[in-house]
Amino acid sequence: MSLLLPLVLLWPLLLAGGLLSPWRGYSRALLPSAPLPGLLAGFQPGLQWEAPWLLLGLQFGVDSIASPLLLLASLLWVLAAIAAGRSMARNPHRDRFLALFLLTMAGNLGVFIGLDAAGFYLAYATMTFAAYGLVIHDGQAASRRAGRVYLVLAVLGEGMLVAALLLLAGALGNPALHGLGPELAQVPHQAWITGLFLLGFGIKMGIVPLHLWLPLAHPCAPVPASAVLSGVIVKAGLMGWLRFLPVGEEVAAPLGPWVIAAGLFTAFFAVAVGLAQARAKTVLAYSTVSQMGLLTVLIGMGLALPGIYWALAVGAVLLMALHHGLAKGALFLAMGADNRARFWLMLWPAAALAGLPLTSGALAKKAMKDAAEMAPGLWAEALPLLLSLSSLATALLMARLLWLVRPRVDAGDGETARGRAPVLALVLASALVPWLWAGWQQPGAALAALDAKAAWDSTWPVLLALGVAAAWWWWSPARWQAVRLPEGDLVALLPGARPLPQPPVWELPAVPGAAPAGRALTRMELGLGTLAIAGVLFLGLALGLMVLLLG
């Protein structure tokens, strides 16, 4: 037993309470220390703490699944807290934001160490509803609209989870989550429980069509909140799946191919819509939806594979989560840096998401492809190609992102140079931590990601994406109308919905003697905007393959 684990929850809660007291200045100064107990606990797998006298008997611990995710969450919360302390220094509602930030942090870290159903759900619900305040913080019309969509989906998801937990409690009481799968496979109403957990946690993961809150909430939330929303709060849904789904159990095998198909559809759909967006933070939000689709593919494999194969594939899930959380957190934090530095700070994490060699993305996607070879039936042949096509699609989306954040002399600056420090730290962490973790867990797999074949497998999708972007650049833009889809896509189809207008696309200022360059850049802008057509083609290809595989 260790008293470090209760501090993971209590220290952020105490600091949040301190913001309501006359000593609020101390809480503000200590804000970056709030996730430190979690960071220390993440380095100590095997820690456990129980409180049988509290609620239904709370259990907290750090096992092999929780350790890397707790490290990811704690590191990202530390750097986001530093950024929040600086960016909110002059905001009149600073203490309100920081209190909600700390409550969300406590719930999020609690999800990763919760080892009983009641404690897990208590932390999960705290995180979910506290994060609503981060979304609507500025009180603008767009933020309130995003908050309404977020809250509706959050309540829907909580209802599903409560229903599943009540059915589970009727058979097992308040079960321990470590090794729950075999027990869940035997309980009454197992199919209903599994389906409710899939959908309830799927909302947090942003699986299409349950993704609507993500592209609305991210552009509205302050930069530090967006970083943790995309980097680790969505991973709470992944943790729920890992804890509550009967992965590796024969009873769930028929469901596996359908979950794989849903993940692939999500991955390609999000890229197709993301390419038609005009705001960088919205593009990043759709990128998160796409990457969560890839993680869903791995979870689908876990449902379809026998236990021994799932034990080998779970490492790919954790590595992919670690890579995505750090890279996406760095990209979102970079949105708060000054305009001149933003583009250069984003280059490495964007390359990592695209999967270029030597990046954490190449390592994660190599692990995914190795796991895909164990997939059932025809999926073993189709998944490696589909995963390569998803890398191509992601590279196109990152090209769109980098174009939108290109240095512009007429753009207002973000933070001063001091605001770059948390971003630089997170960029460095995203470059090193996944490799260090993979080298510690599976040294052979890390070395295999560096060989010539793996390097080529990582390179050709990105080269092809650059070729497609270049072709669209030189193609006559007059033949195509630039595609613009509303943020939240399917929300616009709801009865009575009035999507907010998209912001105008930036134009470079007129510079004497630079007309040819200006025309070329305008052509690129229109070309990258119409790359949504390429995304639709990828989506159609993926759907065709999935129909053949499921038929």
| Cα–Cα distance for residue pair 291/273, rounded to 1 Å | 14
pLDDT of residue 152: 93
**Domain segments of the chain: what residues?**
1-246, 250-407+416-475+518-551
Task: Compute the radius of gyration of the chain from its Cα atoms.
Answer: 22
By percentage, how much of the chain surpasses pLDDT 70?
84
- The whole-number average pLDDT for the span 311-322 is 90
Work out the pLDDT band at 142, boundaries 50, 70, 90. Answer: confident
CA nearest to 277, candidates 347, 326, 223, 218 = 218
Collapsing DSSP to helix, strand or coil, 59 comes out as strand
Least confident stretch, 30-39, 190-199, 367-376, 541-550: 541-550
| pLDDT at residue 498 in the model | 52
Indicate the length of the chain as a whole number.
551
As beta bridge partners, residue 116 has: 176
Q: Go through 140-155 and write b for each residue having 16 or more CB atoms within 10 A of its CB, e for each that does not.
A: eeebebbbebbbebbe
| Tens-place pLDDT, residues 26-43 | 989 999 999 999 999 999
Q: From the centroid of its chain, how far is CA 353?
A: 11
Average pLDDT in the 117-144 region?
A: 92
Residue 458: CB atoms within 10 A of its CB come to 24
Tell me what the pLDDT averaged over the chain comes to. 83
Q: How many CB atoms lie within 10 A of CB 242?
A: 22
pLDDT at residue 406 above 90?
no
- Among 257-261, 438-442, 491-495, whose mean pLDDT is lowest? 491-495
Residue-level pLDDT at 237: 95
* pLDDT for position 129: 95
Looking at residue 416, the DSSP 8-state letter turns out to be -
Q: DSSP secondary structure string, 74-139?
A: HHHHHHHHHHHHHHTTT-TTHHHHHHHHHHHHHHHHHHHHB-BHHHHHHHHHHHHHHHHHHHTTT-
> In terms of pTM, does the model score above 0.75?
yes
